[in-house]
Amino acid sequence: MKKWLKRILLTDLWRGMRVTFRNQKPSLIYTEQYPAERPHVAERYRGAPRLNIHPENGETLCISCNLCALICPENLIVVISERNEKTRHKELIQFTYDLSRCMFCGLCEDACPVDALELTQDFEMASFTREGQIWDRQMLEEGPLPREYSS
């Protein structure tokens, strides 16, 4: 009988509403003013990928070993390379990274033997189209461009 009375009077609902309204005091509310103030990002946060370039000669550090593409559980990295007949080294032709399917696990970053690929702390990766989520080599080397917001 007590169980039915609780169901009819909705005691669980009223108890939950009391908790909700108790925490609605303006002194307890915290709001980040996002575009104006940049939020604090955790030190180990994994965000936008980046292909690192050599600081002296400006060439990419990627040696086209394809380990990042092989270890990726989502198969979203495509590395296309050609062997240079003069130097007998592979040269990176195309590198694409599909952010729409990435789960930011960091396995590609760990697999890279020369630290050419890394996940940065950039978190603004939104785009209006699906094509904007597929980053090519140039976009990966430059990184996402910061946007100016105006009110």
Which residue, among 49, 40, 14, has the nearest Cα to 144 in the 3D structure? Answer: 49
pLDDT of residue 147: 65
Rg (CA), the chain: 24
Mean pLDDT for 5-33 is 87
Average the pLDDT over 102-123 and give the result: 93
CATH code, residues 49-142: 3.30.70.3270
The residue with greater pLDDT, 93 or 35, is 93
> Cβ atoms within 10 A of the Cβ of 52, count?
16
Please choose, from the candidates 57, 85, 72, the residue with its C-alpha nearest in 3D space to the C-alpha of residue 117: 72
CA distance 141 to 47: 15
Confidence of residue 78 (pLDDT cuts 50, 70, 90): very high
- Compare 73 and 126 and report the one with higher pLDDT: 73
For residue 151, is pLDDT > 60? no
Look up residue 77 and give its two tokens.
């990295």
The whole-number average pLDDT for the span 92-99 is: 94
pTM of the model: 0.73
- DSSP annotation string for 59-74: -B------HHHHH-TT
What average pLDDT is seen over the chain? 89
**In the structure encoding, which two tokens stand for residue 44, read together?**
């180990």
Q: Would you kindly state where each structural domain of the chain is located, as residue ranges?
A: 49-142
Measure the CA–CA gap between 103 and 74, rounded to whole angstroms: 8
